[in-house]
C-alpha cells in the first residue's frame, strides 16, 4: 500500500512492541499529518485501542467468532466517534471463508433469537434445526460439490 499510494501506512500486528503500538495510535489519532491508513491484525487490534479518527473498517480475514470481529470494529465505533462508521467484509465465493461467513451469520441470527425472545426459542426449533445447532457436520466445513 505504501508503494501504491506513496504514503506511509501504519501496520500493527502481534509482534509490534507496546511502545510502537502506543506511538502509532497516538499519531493516528492526534497528528493531522499522520498516515490515514492503519492496518491491524484482528487479534492484535481487537482490544485496548481507540481509533475514532477512522470511519472505515475492512475485515479481510473473517473470524469464526462474531464477537472477535465486533470487538475489532468497536475500536472505531466508540464514544468520541463523530462520523458514520462503514464496515466492509470481504468474502471469496466457494471457499472455506464463505462457509465461515455463513456460520457467522447463522450464529448472529441465533443470538438475536435468544436475546430477543428469551428461552422460548428453543422449544420452537424443529428436530433438524436443533440437530444443526448442536452438531457441526461435514457439510459445515467441507463442500462435497
Task: Give one DSSP letter per residue of 52-103, joined into a string.
Answer: TT--EEEE-S--SSHHHHHHHHTTTSSTT--SPPEEEE---TTSHHHHHHHH
Instruction: Tell me how far apart the alpha carbons of residues 64 and 45 are, in angstroms, rounded to a whole number.
Output: 17
Average pLDDT value for the chain:
84
- Kindly report whether the global pTM for this prediction surpasses the value 0.85: no
Residue 117: the pLDDT is 60
For domain 2-89, give its CATH number from 1.10.10.10, 3.40.50.300, 3.40.50.2000, 3.30.450.40: 3.40.50.300
Q: Which residue has the cell 420452537?
A: 124
Name the grid cell of 2.
505504501
- pLDDT per residue as tens digits for the range 65-79: 888 888 889 999 998
Instruction: Find the helix or strand (DSSP H, E) in which 11 lies.
Output: strand 10-12
pLDDT of 139:
61
Name the residue ranges covered by the structural domains of the chain. 2-89, 96-136
Burial class from Cβ neighbours inside 10 Å (0-12, 13-18, 19+) for residue 57 reads buried
Q: Is pLDDT of 135 > 80? A: no
Residues 26-84 have pLDDT tens digits of 999 999 999 999 999 888 876 788 999 999 999 888 787 888 888 889 999 998 899 99
Report the range of poorest mean pLDDT among 11-25, 26-40, 95-109: 95-109
6 CB burial (10 A radius; 0-12, 13-18, 19+): exposed
Q: Cell match 464463505: residue?
A: 98
Q: What is the mean pLDDT of residues 104-118?
A: 77
Amino acid at each position: 500500500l505504501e508503494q501504491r499510494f506513496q504514503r506511509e501506512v501504519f501496520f500493527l500486528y502481534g509482534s509490534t512492541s507496546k511502545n510502537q503500538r502506543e506511538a502509532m495510535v497516538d499519531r493516528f489519532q492526534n497528528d493531522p499529518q499522520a498516515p490515514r491508513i492503519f492496518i491491524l491484525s484482528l487479534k492484535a487490534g481487537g482490544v485496548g485501542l481507540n481509533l475514532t479518527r477512522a470511519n472505515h473498517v475492512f475485515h479481510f480475514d473473517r473470524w469464526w467468532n462474531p464477537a472477535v470481529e465486533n470487538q475489532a470494529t468497536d475500536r472505531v465505533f466508540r464514544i468520541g466517534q463523530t462520523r458514520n462508521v462503514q464496515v466492509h467484509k470481504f468474502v471469496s465465493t466457494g471457499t472455506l471463508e464463505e462457509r465461515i461467513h455463513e456460520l457467522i451469520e447463522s450464529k448472529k441470527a441465533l443470538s438475536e433469537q435468544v436475546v430477543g425472545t428469551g428461552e422460548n426459542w428453543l422449544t420452537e426449533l424443529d428436530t433438524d434445526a436443533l440437530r444443526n445447532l448442536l452438531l457441526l457436520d461435514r457439510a459445515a466445513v467441507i463442500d462435497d460439490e
